[in-house]
Chain A
Amino acid sequence: MALFRYSRSIYGGSDQLIGASWDLLPWFVGAAVAFIIVHAVLSALAKRRAHGSH
């Protein structure tokens, strides 16, 4: 998986950095969804524990 986008140099030199790779977009979305799932699970466990202690 590429982190960056490059353009091929027409003069045969090294490739030119032109930006971040858009292939990473699903990973950013996935990280957000993973965070939400972890938070929801921990919140549910904390609430269950709080109810159990009353």
Chain B
Amino acid sequence: MDQLTSGRWPAAGGERIKRHSLLDRAYHWLMALCVFVLMATAFLPILGIKFEWLDIHWITGVTLAALVLIHIVRALVFQDWRNMWIGRSDLQEIWRGVARLFGSRQPPLLPGKYDAAQKLYHLGVAVVVLAVIGTGLLMLLKIDTPFWRRNPYWFSADTWGIVYVIHGFAAMAIVAVVIVHLYFALVPDSWYMLRAMVRGWISGKEYSQHHDPARWKA
């Protein structure tokens, strides 16, 4: 794990390629914190650990919504959103990867900043997080807060049922995607990306080994 925390390894005095800005890393870890708090306050009471969860849950949910809004504006206006767009070269990358699994000797296609699997994962996370945030914001209508009084009659009981179903399924899907994310973050092959999410950079060697400079001009 030294390579996660040491600034000296693996690029002792070597070239460093900036992968994530401080703002993006702060967003990532704040979002992670929010998601863990939301999962704990959602599922621990269901699993029998009872505590006053509602205030922590909705305040953290609103915080997550604000973070995601900032991320969307930043990605669309101030960053290159095409880094996360799934294009033809990503489909070729997936096809080549599947072919290699079944014995093809063709070399793997190197990705840009993010590989095809990461882009698909991001798309999946975006869908479930936006679903849980959208329904969660609607559910705020059913609780009293310092800012508004509850009004549960905005929707019919049937509509509220659908809102709760979407919120519940999206929340359980988030548990699954978090488990998968932890796996990919912790497997040794991707430690360099975990380090980049902590310290911001990858080495020049890692850049040339894992990325196509034509697709990611660092």
B-binding residues in A (CB < 8 A): 4, 16-22, 24-25, 28-29, 31-33, 35-36, 39-40, 42-43, 45-46, 49, 53
A35 x B180 contact (CB < 8 A): yes
Least CB distance from A27 to B in Å reads 8
Least CB distance from A8 to B in Å reads 13
Q: A25-B43, A32-B180 are in contact. Are A53 and B105 (CB under 8 A)?
A: yes
Interface of A is mostly: helix
Contacts beyond the supplied A16-B158, A19-B164, A19-B168: 18 A-B pairs with Cβ under 8 Å: A17-B162, A17-B165, A18-B161, A19-B167, A20-B172, A22-B46, A24-B169, A24-B172, A28-B173, A32-B175, A32-B176, A32-B177, A36-B183, A39-B183, A42-B101, A45-B101, A46-B100, A49-B103
A-binding residues in B (CB < 8 A): 43, 46, 100-101, 103, 105, 157-158, 160-162, 164-165, 167-169, 172-173, 175-177, 179-180, 183, 187, 189
**Among candidates A16, A18, A28, A35, residue contacting B175 with C-beta atoms closer than 8 Å:** A28
Task: Enumerate chain A residues within 8 angstroms of B165, measured Cβ to Cβ.
Answer: 4, 17, 19-20
Task: Enumerate chain B residues within 8 angstroms of A17, measured Cβ to Cβ.
Answer: 158, 161-162, 164-165
B180 x A36 contact (CB < 8 A): yes
Least CB distance from B43 to A in Å reads 7
Least CB distance from A21 to B in Å reads 8
**Among candidates A4, A21, A28, A43, residue contacting B176 with C-beta atoms closer than 8 Å:** A28
Inter-chain CA distance A20–B171, complex, in Å, is 10
Task: Enumerate chain A residues within 8 angstroms of B160, measured Cβ to Cβ.
Answer: 18
Q: A19-B167, A22-B168 are in contact. Are A29 and B176 (CB under 8 A)?
A: yes
B179 x A29 contact (CB < 8 A): yes
